[in-house]
Amino acid sequence: MKKETNEDHDGTSRLVGYVRRSRSGHGLRVSINSEAFQACHTYETSDGQSYVPLVLSVAALRRVMDGQREVTTVSQLGSMSPN
């Protein structure tokens, strides 16, 4: 059973952070804005754990990984379900 909180599901998206390649190019650096993260809605699983569902575009992330793009966004969709 999932229980959602901070419900502002209006179909909008909230910018939460960015992803870019590490300086060495062997990893990804994820930077999350703490104020935006705190404003995100969460859901709780049946075991009592709480999660913040976030979205990254796979295509944009591939372009970052391939060096074709410097950065992409991490967002939360307002109408997003955790699955």
pLDDT, tens digit, 9 for 90 and up, residues 20-39: 999 998 999 999 999 999 99
Separation CA 21–CA 27 (nearest Å): 6
Of 4-8, 9-13, 19-23, 55-59, the one with minimum mean pLDDT is 4-8
50 bridge partner residues: 44
Domain boundaries, the chain: 3-77
Query: How far is the CA of 6 from the CAs of 13, 20, 41, 44, 64, in angstroms?
Result: 14, 28, 4, 12, 31
* pTM attached to this predicted model: 0.74
